[in-house]
Structure 1
Amino acid sequence: MNQRRQFNKLLIYIFALIGVTISVFPFYWMFTASTLQESQIFKIPPTLIPSTNFFTNLSNLASGWPLWKALFNSLLVSGITTVTTIFFSALAGYAFAKYKFKGREPLFFSVLLIMMVPTQVMLVPMFIIMMNFNWIDTYFALIIPYLVTPFGVFLMRQQMLAFPDDLIEAARIDGCRDFGIFFRIVLPVMKPACAALGIVTFMQQWGNFIWPLVAVSSKEMYTLPLMLSMMVQPGQVVQYGQVMVAAVIGLIPMLLLFLFFQKHFVSGVFGGSVKG
């Protein structure tokens, strides 16, 4: 019996190791390729040991493409939309969960309906609206449409449902006003949910490609995903070493964000699954 358990454990470890290897290898290859010369990247057999050409590729990339500007644009857009999405989603979620008002259910149902609409369907109406406001190729076009998301409202509403009503009533008896209850009592307890929503929102905006492709035309307004796509356009010589360097730089913020907030992410996602 013990031998069978040990054998089952060994199989689990083997499959886990295979899964980790398959998952990690593309990232390892991306980093390795960013340190190689152009002639070494597609060499057969492939070079799997990092070299010393990373900073040369980085220098060539920065001299030919607006790398740092694109990185700044991505950080700015992702940071602002993440903060606003957390704030407005928490407010809306609190209202839907704890207040009874006329039209609450139809309004929340409309939020769910908007979640089901594909992004591609909204591109043309959003572009027309931005064009009428003369916001095309500006930060407003990249930020305004994503100030709050239906998913954020839905997630925060589900989390707010688990918040005890007794605490809210006790705070009202003590003379605390509605906004005071929200900011001083509810929001601090919802930190894990806010962190989970923040990670999801930041990752979505950091990798957002379709809308910047529609709303941006000048290189100065490129986000990092848009710049990466422009580096591999048909009909031009692709410098894959530089592409890999840009991909590595674009991956670092997401890795750091998830590593620092992974505990909040897990507890925030499952925190509203049990009401009590």
Structure 2
Amino acid sequence: MPHVTTSDGTELYYTEQGSGRPVLFSHGWPLSSDAWQVELKVFADAGYRAIAHDRRGHGRSSKTYAGNDMDTYAKDLSELVEALDLHDLVVVGHSTGGGEVVRYAAQYGEGRVAKVVTVGAVPPIMLISDANPEGTPIENFDEIRSHVLKDRSQFWKDLAVSFFGFNRDGAAVSQGAIDDFWRQGMLVNLSAAYDCVKAFSETDQNGDLEALAVPILIAHGDDDQIVPIAAAAEKAIRLVKDGTLKVYPGAPHGIFGAYQDQLDQDILDFIRA
């Protein structure tokens, strides 16, 4: 399996398909590059070099105890990009991966990153505060950490339901999607899964969004139960210099079904523009 070894000795797994302009996909918590399997084929078929990696602690990458924070995630991504010598790069990040690609592009991407895409992404910050009254209370994140410690296997199964919006009236439930979410979640190192909750919920990325010097497509479902749009995309679009906000009516947090089909086409159109 292809890996890149970072400066602190962490092995990052990556996979790629196709050739042409590079498009790099960063997954959400607690998943892996497998979450992008459809996009790897769709974008390779469209003439791109589609690349996806497993974040440290996730999937087939090193099961890390240290470095499970947004700064290190962005640094890891920069080392992967440099190792693969990618230029004119489009970075696409979902959920936590959206935070990762935004920080990477803002702090390391000059001369390499041409465009950024976020989907259901966590920036600018999820945690509620006086400055972010639309955010999520710390008690919610404490409850997530408790579930991860006590019975993560059952928690992944339960979380998948709201992740994909399968708890909504009339939703076409896919047991396969739930099972695959569980499968990917069970590959996460427990320390990494636990620490990543703080990374995705408490990292302030207002400055990262303001610093972006390239176009960004901010995509978000308006029925996202994991990263509510009011505290995320609706705020992020006001911070960036060159942004396009695309809202998907009724779409959940998870990328699946008709939402996935439309999103992939919109990303392709954004890249080509």
The alignment's TM-score, normalised by the length of structure 2, stands at 0.23
Structure with the larger RCO, 1 or 2 (CA within 8 Å, 6+ apart): 1
Task: From the two aligned structures, give the one with the greater helix fraction.
Answer: 1
More strand by share: 2
